[in-house]
Amino acid sequence: MINTWKRALQDSAAEIFDKSQKSRKQIEAQTDELYRQIGQLKVERDFLAKGLSR
C-alpha cells in the first residue's frame, strides 16, 4: 500500500509542484475553445454567404 502511494507520488510529483503546469493546461484549454469558436464562425459565415448569394 505504501509502495503504491510512493509510486503515485513519483509519477506525478512534477505536476504537483509545478505551478506553471496548471496555467499551461488552462491556456491550452482556452486556445482549443477559441479555435473551436473560430471554426464555428467560419461555418456560419460560409452558410450565410451561400444563402445570400442565391
Tens digit of each residue's pLDDT (9 = 90 or more) over 4-42 = 888 888 888 777 777 666 678 888 999 999 999 999 999
What pLDDT score does 41 carry? 96
Nearest to 21 by CA among 6, 29, 32, 9: 29
53 has a pLDDT exceeding 80: no
pLDDT at 21: 66
Q: Is the pTM of this model over 0.85?
A: no
State the pLDDT at residue 19. 67
In order of 17, 18, 23, 39, 41, the CA distances from 32 in angstroms are 25, 22, 14, 11, 14
Spell out the domain ranges in the chain: 19-54
Q: What was the pLDDT predicted at 54? A: 66
> Which cell goes with 45?
459565415
Classify the phi-psi angles of 18: left when phi > 0, otherwise alpha if psi is within -120 to 50, otherwise beta.
Answer: beta
Cell numbers standing for residue 51 = 444563402
